[in-house]
Amino acid sequence: MARDTVRKAMRQLREEGLLYTVPNLGSFVSLPDGQEVQADAE
């Protein structure tokens, strides 16, 4: 699978609110109600 395909899919998931990104930690699946889990960056 090409990187561009994955990037487009992840961007679409973020736009739909199903995925969120935390800088220096990665991308995560959103909770059902659209809230993000608080991540403690160490």
Q: What is the pLDDT of residue 4?
A: 96
Dmax over CA atoms of the chain, in Å, equals: 32
Q: What is the pTM of this model?
A: 0.68
Q: What is the DSSP letter of 18?
A: S
User: Residues 14-24: pLDDT tens digits?
Assistant: 999 899 999 99
- How many angstroms separate the CA atoms of 9 and 35, rounded? 20
Q: What is the pLDDT of residue 37?
A: 64
pLDDT category at 32 given cuts 50, 70, 90 is confident
Which range marks the domain in which residue 3 is found? 1-32
pLDDT category at 1 given cuts 50, 70, 90 is confident
Domain presence at residue 13: yes
Domain presence at residue 37: no
The DSSP string of 1-15 is --HHHHHHHHHHHHH
Domain presence at residue 38: no
- How many angstroms separate the CA atoms of 3 and 17, rounded? 21
Domain presence at residue 21: yes
Residues 6+ apart with CB under 8 A from 25: 39, 41
Q: What is the pLDDT of residue 19?
A: 93
